[in-house]
Structure 1
Amino acid sequence: MPSANNISQNSKALLLSSFFNDTEKLSEYVPKYAERGVTGCLLQVLTKDEITFPFSGRVKFENATGSTVFQSDQARALRAEYLEKLQQNNERLQSIAAACGWTFLTVSIELDPREVLGLCIEQLGMR
């Protein structure tokens, strides 16, 4: 994440991520950006499967390099806990954004990118 000193004062920022592991950094950096008058939007981009966790039976999750991150023979049993943790993470992200006057959006990667861009422009007050 860029240092607040490297972002122009009173500018607009759009941070895109799954934000699965970024909440601590965000809670440190976003307030520093806001102190410089930067307004912004945290845009969480997830797949439909990450949003709904439709898995059952044996499942193996891999990272972008192909190494196994997690596997289970009981994926359906993990669904409720996963969705609860996703909800808690999203509440934390919403809290970070709101405390600084920013907005938080979650979108599915399956959405038309033009629609997502329109949402971001609207949230950043650029229309």
Structure 2
Amino acid sequence: MPFPALVAEAERIAATVAQGVHGRRQRGTGETFWEYRHHRAEDGAAAVDWRMSARSQNLFVRENEWEAANTVWMWRDGSASMDWASSREIPTKRDRAAVCLIALAALLTRGGERVAVLGESAAPRSGELGMERVSARLATGPGGMDSVESPRMAKHGQAVLASDFLDPFETWRARLARFSAMQAGGVLLRVIDPSEEDFPYKGRTRFEAPAGGETLLFGRAEEAGSAYRQRWASHGDAIADLARRTGWTLVTHRTDRPATQAVLALHRALSRDV
């Protein structure tokens, strides 16, 4: 799908989802002013905002917005397996992942939060400029694996990783371990094509790897269906268990279903994490 069409669809989805969500900003230890509150004994004298307190007979403390909740790093898998759709009626996994993340970025930047693309953004940004740069990178960027194998982001940060997660379980375990070492977490968006889950194939069928290489030819594809579905379910369960054990939230989305469902789930998951 062309870049302008991806952004237009993402903006439409964001507008729909925005009607049912609220911002994630909250008080904390950042640099952006949040509000003044009355001083408490446990705050100590150092916490008093003397300029504000001088205007009143009460002591006040200046609270700032939580910095970690203000930055979200995103990544859209650029692997060959993502450039596939089983039907012309549904988008490729790559396009759907990009649309979901661009829509999420629109929601976050409208709330004043900063966004960036792992391995492709120099620094997180907010507002229209941040949205414009992130959208272009999510739609057309390489989505290289080096971005998740050697993540460069702030410690304690949040990330949203969109992929089909078809690489071996051990590979993803090693990648998420690197995020854990940085005390970073977030949400995994697992994008799947319906045929990958349902395996509707029958009769003589040739299967080719997206990036070339091995080709499998079945005289009666339906005979492999049971074993395939069992292995598919096992891999999905392993990814889900990995997410739980490492503190990530897993959102699974089929490309034949509305993207609004995935975007809403992503936004809610980030809100729970703060």
Fold match (TM-score > 0.5): yes
Distance 1:68 1:27 in 2: 25
Distance 1:106 1:10 in 2: 24
What do residues 108-127 of structure 1 show as CA deviations (whole Å, max 9, x unaligned)? 01222232122112122279
Among 250, 254, 266, the alignment partner of 1:104 is 250
Conservation of the 8 A alpha-carbon contact between 2:191 and 2:254: yes
SS at match of 1:19: coil
Distance 1:89 1:43 in 2: 15
| Aligned equivalent of 2:204 | 58
Taking only the aligned residue pairs, the percentage that are identical comes to 21
Q: Does 1:83 align with 2:238?
A: no
Q: Mean Cα displacement is larger for which, 42-51 or 112-121? A: 112-121
Please give the root-mean-square deviation of Cα atoms over the aligned residues, in Å: 2.2
Unaligned runs of 5+ in 1: none
By how many angstroms is 1:67 displaced? 6.4
Q: Does 1:40 align with 2:186?
A: yes
- What is the count of residue pairs matched by the alignment? 126
Conservation of the 8 A alpha-carbon contact between 1:7 and 1:33: no
* Greater C-alpha radius of gyration: 2
Greater relative contact order: 1 or 2 (C-alpha under 8 angstroms, separation 6 or more)? 1
Distance 2:217 2:249 in 1: 34
Normalising to structure 1: TM-score of the pair?
0.84
Q: Mean Cα displacement is larger for which, 80-89 or 22-31? A: 22-31
Distance 1:33 1:65, change over 3 A: closer
SS at match of 2:271: coil
Distance 1:118 1:102 in 2: 17
Conservation of the 8 A alpha-carbon contact between 1:10 and 1:37: yes
Distance 1:21 1:100 in 2: 18
Conservation of the 8 A alpha-carbon contact between 1:39 and 1:124: no
Normalising to structure 2: TM-score of the pair?
0.42
